[in-house]
A and B are shown apart, each in its own frame.
Chain A
């Protein structure tokens, strides 16, 4: 009988080790969330042939959430593994996407100077240890300068075939939450003690399909505005939230 209790004790100890110190079986770990700017994002050529140089680029992000579920772009191995390893049941894919278990999150909005010196943002956070397969975030708006009520703001120059256009404007997203969220950014990370999660912003994606020649005539100072009903704003609306606007490393 004593032997049985000894094995029960061993099993219980093993269970504690396997599950970590959390009463829920989840291990809380410290990690660093860093937000960076793709160096290419300062000067780039768009799919429409414009050479763009940004002089200013600000954006406000909030509710950056690290999830356990892979987005629909998951690799074949990921899909295969899904059929052999139990996973949290959540709805994912080209239909509505849900990320599953939250591993970590940044709740407060941060205004990022994407072209400033050094990393625009870095914070020490705590999360739940385990695989991170996707990240979702929200584009926020801040009333104060430099965003002044916009979700992002840029100033720069676009050149094509000898035409040089100076532009400046803000990105205004609709009020509905889904238009402000970027969901299912692919990630292949494991959140562990001391891990660093790098969220990279790619401003070169913002104007991939923009036609700067369609902007209205310049006002004082020779700078053309980006009206919310313009083609450039529509391209920015898609590009700032679309595939490739953010990556996770």
Chain B
């Protein structure tokens, strides 16, 4: 009998906890949240992006993407008070070259501002859902390789054309995202309405010559192109480029447009090794944004 009472109390406590955690305050009504995923215009047309002066390579390269697959999941919507509206462990894989696509929808949510929004960029599991044109073969390749990105494309400069097909394993948590529209934290769910938000990826960050900064950085491709063999840039070969000794295809120091030595600068971001492959892994972690230019705190999930 005593144990039954304890069990009943425990049950009541659990229900109360769940009630608080799930936020059943219906005073504001209930609504839905629809999330789309976008790599913006760059994913569709590549670089340079027409009309965008800052979305071009300083060294004259053009890059087009045939596939820009990304695994996204673990959507979290909560409040700083510790309440949760959504903690969803589903992972989807979408191809950003297909344009903005719907990826998640959540209904029957308490209508209010939820000031904490986060998501992960991570490799898919067997339970992951392929979105749109993503093939089962591509999905399986990402599962097998533990890749959160699979990027295929071509780079060209003058008569030179190079291909690349890279699997990138750099799982990243994006927390405390802020709406680009007004820099407000999280999302607002409205009564009897569907709130639409976009998980945005900034592809240009992958090619910046400095981590953790935007002002004064340049998009560069010469150092990447320099390791090409037989017209292809292998991901593994990027490790041969030392950040303090970047070389051109002829083995000479890589110089910028003004004749200065090019240095990719990780600032204080720790790299496993000071080579270009590790640098790009870290750069890939900075792509996650929210509703366009809205920022998130991004951290390694390794």
Show the binding face of A for B, using Cβ within 8 Å. Answer: 71-74, 79, 82-84, 86-87, 89-97, 176, 178-179, 182-185, 208-211, 229, 231, 234-235, 237-239, 241-245
- Shortest beta-carbon distance from A56 to chain B in Å: 22
The closest CB in chain B to the CB of A95 belongs to: B286
CA distance A185 to B267 in the complex (A): 11
Docked-complex contact B298 and A93, CB < 8 angstroms: yes
Docked-complex contact A238 and B211, CB < 8 angstroms: no
> What DSSP secondary structure best describes chain B's contact surface?
loop
Q: Which of B61-69, B212-220, B229-237 contacts A (4 or more CB under 8 A)?
A: B212-220
A79 CB contacts on chain B under 8 angstroms: 173, 175, 299
Q: Which of A73, A91, A176, A182 contacts B267 (CB 8 A)?
A: A182
Given A82-B175, A95-B205, A231-B245; A183-B267 close (CB under 8 Å): yes
The closest CB in chain A to the CB of B266 belongs to: A242
B266 CB contacts on chain A under 8 angstroms: 238, 242-243
Q: Is B148 part of the contact surface with A, judged by Cβ < 8 Å?
A: no
Q: Is B80 part of the contact surface with A, judged by Cβ < 8 Å?
A: yes
Docked-complex contact B176 and A89, CB < 8 angstroms: yes
Docked-complex contact B216 and A184, CB < 8 angstroms: no
- Shortest beta-carbon distance from B103 to chain A in Å: 21
The closest CB in chain A to the CB of B217 belongs to: A178
Docked-complex contact A229 and B260, CB < 8 angstroms: yes
Q: Is B56 part of the contact surface with A, judged by Cβ < 8 Å?
A: no
> What DSSP secondary structure best describes chain A's contact surface?
loop
Docked-complex contact B253 and A231, CB < 8 angstroms: yes
Write 7 A-B pairs (CB below 8 A) sorted by A numbering. Answer: A79-B173, A83-B76, A89-B178, A94-B211, A94-B286, A238-B263, A241-B268
Docked-complex contact B244 and A243, CB < 8 angstroms: no
- Shortest beta-carbon distance from B195 to chain A in Å: 20
- Shortest beta-carbon distance from A3 to chain B in Å: 30
Docked-complex contact A234 and B297, CB < 8 angstroms: no
Q: Is B171 part of the contact surface with A, judged by Cβ < 8 Å?
A: no
The closest CB in chain B to the CB of A93 belongs to: B298
Given A86-B80, A94-B282, A94-B298; A234-B263 close (CB under 8 Å): yes
A243 CB contacts on chain B under 8 angstroms: 266, 268-271
- Shortest beta-carbon distance from A61 to chain B in Å: 14
Docked-complex contact B244 and A235, CB < 8 angstroms: yes
The closest CB in chain A to the CB of B79 belongs to: A86
Q: Which of B214, B216, B269 contacts A72 (CB 8 A)?
A: B269
- Shortest beta-carbon distance from A2 to chain B in Å: 34
A178 CB contacts on chain B under 8 angstroms: 210, 213, 215-216, 267
Q: Is B32 part of the contact surface with A, judged by Cβ < 8 Å?
A: no
CA distance A211 to B185 in the complex (A): 47
B73 CB contacts on chain A under 8 angstroms: none
Q: Which of A73, A92, A182, A237 contacts B270 (CB 8 A)?
A: A73
- Shortest beta-carbon distance from B2 to chain A in Å: 33
- Shortest beta-carbon distance from B238 to chain A in Å: 16
Q: Is B141 part of the contact surface with A, judged by Cβ < 8 Å?
A: no
Q: Which of B244, B282, B289 contacts A234 (CB 8 A)?
A: B244
CA distance A239 to B80 in the complex (A): 38
